[in-house]
Amino acid sequence: MAGPVLDAVKARGQLLCGVNAGLVGFMHADSQGVWRGLSIDMCRATAAALFGDANKVKYIPLEPLKRFPALESGEVDLLASNSTVTLGRDGGVDFAGIYYYDGQGFMVPRKLGKRVVSDLNGATVCVQPGTTTEANVADYFRLNKMTFKAVLLDTLDDLRAAFFAGRCDVLTADLSNLYATRAAYAPNPSDYSILPRTITKEPLGLAVRHGDNQFADIVRWSLYAMIEAEEYGITSRNVDDALKSENPTLKRILGVTPGMGKALGVDEKWAYNIVKQVGNYGEVFDRNLGPSTVLKIPRGLNGPWRDGGMLYAPPIR
C-alpha cells in the first residue's frame, strides 16, 4: 500500500523538490530557467524511477530557515538542498541517503595573509543563521579559545555580497558552497583562498517526511542505483548495450530479470530510466562538479569505495 506522500506525488504527476535559492554546481537555474546541478539530478533520478520521466519535477527554492518547515508542511515532497544529516534533524524528518560527503571550511581574501584556521582569531565571519554552519563555527572557535564576530545574513546573495564587499574577513560554509561561490561570484577567483582544513563532517542527505516508508525507499534506492551503476560501469551511453548482458547482477539492476521494480512499487525499468536519463553517479558528478567545470572539485570522499571514497551502495538484489 502506498503512503500519503507517494499517493499525492502520483496523483499530481510531478515531484515537488525543495532546493536552495542557487548554488552553482549543485542547484541553480541557468539563463533559460532550467535547473541544473548535482542536487537537481538527485531529484531527477527519483522522478525517473517514479514516472519514467526525469523531467517531471518542480523545483521550489527555499532559504535555510524555511526548508524543513516546507517539507514538514507538505509544500515539498523531497529536500535536496545540501542539508547536513544530524541526529536533531533526523528526529523530525527521514533522511533517505547521503549523496555528497562534505565538510565546513573557510574562504579568505589572499591579501589578508590568512593561511591556516588558527590565523582567524578575532576575525569577522559571514555566516547564514539557522544553519549547522552557524553552530559549528561558534563551537569550533569556543573550543579552540578563539574569538570572532559573526555577520549574520539570511540569504546566500546577501552573504556573498557582504563577503566580496569586505564587510567580513571570512566566509564560512561547506566546502562545496565555497568552491561554487568562488568560481561563480568572486570578482577575481584567484584573489581568494580556501583554507586547507575542514572543521566538521557534513554528510549531505536527501530528506523526506515521516510516515511514508515506500516513498523514502524509492528516493533511497534511486540514489543507490546511480552508485551501483557507476561501480558496474553502466553509463547513459552504454546502458542499452548493458541490457543484453548475461551478468545476473546487471540483469537485476536494469530490470531484465523482474522483481526489483515490484519490490519498490515502480516499473521494472526504474534503474534503467535513471541511468539513461540522468546518468550514473560519476557522470552526474563530472557533469556538475568535475574537472571540466568551473568548480573542478576532486572526487575525494565522493569517489567509489574501491577507489578509497565513501560511495558504497547495498546490492540491488
Of the given ranges (174-178, 223-227, 246-250, 306-310), which has the lowest mean pLDDT? 174-178
What is the Cα–Cα distance from 186 to 204, expressed in whole angstroms? 24
Q: Residue 148 is inside which H or E element, if any?
A: strand 148-152
Q: Could you tell me the pLDDT band of residue 235, with boundaries at 50, 70 and 90?
A: very high
What is the Cα–Cα distance from 32 to 16, expressed in whole angstroms? 20
Handedness of CA 231, 93, 4, 67 (dihedral sign): negative
**104-200 and 4-102+203-296 share a CATH fold:** yes
* pLDDT on residue 1: 52
Q: Which numeric CATH code is attached to 104-200?
A: 3.40.190.10
What is the Cα–Cα distance from 190 to 200, expressed in whole angstroms? 25
The stretch 205-222 carries a mean pLDDT of 96
Q: What is the pLDDT of residues 16-34, one digit of tens each?
A: 999 988 789 999 999 899 9
What is the Cα–Cα distance from 232 to 313, expressed in whole angstroms? 12
* pLDDT on residue 2: 65
Q: Determine how many CB atoms are found less than 10 A away from the CB of residue 303.
A: 18
* pLDDT on residue 267: 97
What is the Cα–Cα distance from 44 to 101, expressed in whole angstroms? 20
The stretch 292-297 carries a mean pLDDT of 92
Strands 78-84 and 202-208, by their bridges, are antiparallel
C-alpha cell at 266: 515502480
3-state secondary structure of 264: helix
State CA 189 to chain mean position distance.
Answer: 23
Backbone angles phi, psi at 260, to 5 degrees: -70, -40
* pLDDT on residue 3: 86
- For domain 4-102+203-296, which architecture applies? 3-Layer(aba) Sandwich (3.40)
Q: What is the DSSP letter of 42?
A: H
The stretch 161-173 carries a mean pLDDT of 96
Question: Domain segments of the chain: what residues?
Answer: 4-102+203-296, 104-200
Q: Facing residues of 311 across strands?
A: 304
- In this model, does residue 173 exceed pLDDT 70? yes
Query: Which single residue is written with the C-alpha cell 541557468?
Result: 30
Within 13 Å, how many C-alpha atoms sit on residue 53's CB side? Answer: 9
* pLDDT on residue 22: 79
Strand order in the sheet with 170-174: 148-152, 123-127, 170-174, 104-109, 192-194
Asked whether 93 and 207 are in contact (CB, 8 A), the reply is: yes
Strands 28-29 and 35-36, by their bridges, are antiparallel
- Distances in Å between the alpha carbon of 140 and those of 63, 130, 134, 159, 224? 24, 17, 10, 20, 33
Q: What is the pLDDT of residues 63-118, one digit of tens each?
A: 888 999 999 999 999 999 999 999 999 988 999 999 999 999 999 999 999 999 99
Q: Could you tell me the pLDDT band of residue 188, with boundaries at 50, 70 and 90?
A: very high
Asked whether 278 and 44 are in contact (CB, 8 A), the reply is: yes
Backbone angles phi, psi at 247, to 5 degrees: -65, 120
